[in-house]
Structure 1
Amino acid sequence: MQDRPKLTTIGFDADDTLWQNEQFFRMTEKRFAGLLSDHGEPEHISARLLEAERRNLGVYGFGIKGFTLSMIETAIEITEGRVPAPVIAEILAAGREMLSHPIEPLPHARETVERLAGAYRLVLITKGDLFDQERKLAQSGLGDLFDAVEIVSDKSAATYTRIFGRHGDGPEKSMMVGNSLKSDVVPAIEAGSWGIHVPHELTWVLEHVEPPSAAPRFRQIADLGELPALVESITTPG
């Protein structure tokens, strides 16, 4: 029986994998819809906002700042250019509140990262605004447990090939853990890594894809507390 490649490196997503994130976007979106309630139903306003976000991803990237700009753009469009200045001020205030919101670690995040640190090279791989992601990592208290941190504009197979080549022994000896099938799991598997899906109750609609159920290196766990046992089952010869 051929020996399986030794797992040496584990990548972790940050938002909605290690700490809460999407819930603050949903709360702000609800607040935004309330500001524009005279111009449409909440579902209509949210749909227009999603259209703006989709258009703007290639310009602003992922994160709160791009989301805030998309809200302003949507407000201008929905009101046909007549959005009052106080509404724009409220949108900007909502964005600033998101950028200063305290970090809420998800269950088992700290204990799992602490348990795996030292035995494996741990790499935090997250996309979004540089300053905001650095802030959240610092406030989480988890930063010292990672051997490397990569804040990227997007996640693709090429991204994981580059990162796991730089900080590990290549994709085949690496694993990516995250809540997004589209960003964390599918491209990591395409690069040759293990892809471990940790579902979150709230996942942005633009991150939805079908799970790669037939892929030999795909696994799904209920929460991060199950990860150490899964890692052991993968690394221990059967």
Structure 2
Amino acid sequence: MTMLGFDADDTLWHNERFFTLTQARFAELMGDFAGRDHLEDRLLAAERRNIGRYGFGVKGFTLSMIETAIEVSEARVSATVIAELLEAGREMLAHPIELLPHVETTITTLAASYKLVLITKGDLLDQERKLAQSGLGPCFQAVEVVSEKTPEIYTRIFDRHGMGARQGIMVGNSMKSDILPMLEAGGRAIHIPDRGVTWALDHAETPASHPRLLTLESMENLAEALHKFALE
């Protein structure tokens, strides 16, 4: 049975838009100290700097907002604003899950013919919460929450749950995290680009062409395309 790896955030359900809304709130709260563009640049720099310390996800993002607020204000930011940033982070951790179009039907259909494994970055508790709320949990035979997605990680996961990366397929919205490392590991990948906002640190160039890469507009035709792709 072919193993399919699925990314979670912005592949199965909405995620990045909540970060975008919270970032706008951050700019509003810090408007007395700097303009929005400058705040966004400083926050992005903090996120880049802190990924190695805090990892991916809401908690690291919240800490980066607080760190940026202190730095930009030269430690003059009020405790009230810090409290509001903490509350914004808590709200992100509690937001309801909204599946992307065609996801529920497609995942349910594929689970009958393929071995599905969820491979996602982020905070373990938050990812487990989102999967539970999504109702998709029973469709996945395994869940892997990793600190980073690299060729070595994909090799290890597809060896553990399948017949190796070369016999597996990874499906995701992020060219940088979901697609390129899987191709480098020797596997196949299906890219379903996020039509919303893409995190600045997740940008990567799309290969002009690749024999093991397929791009789809949405999940709607994944089952049919996957069958043909897997047989090539």
Q: Distance in 1 between matches of 2:118 and 2:4?
A: 9
CA distance in 2, matches of 1:212, 1:120: 27
Q: Which residue of 2 aligns with 1:71?
A: 65
Aligned counterpart for 2:198 among listed residues 199, 203, 208: 203
Unmatched 5+ stretches in structure 2: none
Q: Distance in 1 between matches of 2:81 and 2:74?
A: 14
Count of residue pairs brought into register by the alignment: 231
- Residue 182 of structure 2 corresponds to residue 188 of structure 1: yes
Specify which of 138, 145, 149 is matched with residue 151 of structure 1.
145
Aligned partner (choices 200, 211, 229) of residue 224 of structure 2: 229
1:71-120 Cα distance to aligned partner (Å, 9 max, x none): 00000000001110000000000000000000010001111111110211
The root-mean-square deviation of aligned C-alpha atoms, in Å, is 0.9
Q: How does 1:138-177 map to 2 (within 5 A)?
A: 138-177=132-171
Q: How is 1:82-161 mapped onto 2 (pairs within 5 angstroms)?
A: 82-161=76-155
Please show how residues 33-44 of structure 1 align to structure 2 within 5 Å: 33-44=27-38
The match for 2:50 among 32, 56, 69 is 56
SS at match of 2:117: strand
- Looking at structure 2, the residues matched to 236 and 25 of structure 1 have their Cα atoms a distance apart, in angstroms, of 38
Residue among 210, 214, 217 paired with 2:212: 217
Percent of residue pairs identical: 58
Between the aligned partners of 2:143 and 2:71, the Cα distance in structure 1 is: 38
1:80 and 2:74 correspond: yes
Q: How far off its partner does 1:202 sit?
A: 1.6
CA distance in 2, matches of 1:235, 1:208: 27
The TM-score normalised by the length of structure 1 is: 0.95
Alpha-carbon distance between aligned partners in 2 of 1:223 and 1:216, rounded to the nearest angstrom: 20
| SS of residue in 2 equivalent to 1:104 | coil
Structure 1 residue 226 displacement after superposition: 1.8
TM-score by length of 2: 0.98
Structure 1: state its 5+ residue gaps: 1-6
Following superposition, the deviation at residue 219 of structure 1 comes to 1.1
Query: What is aligned with 2:18?
Result: 24
**Cα distance, 1:214 vs structure 2:** 2.8
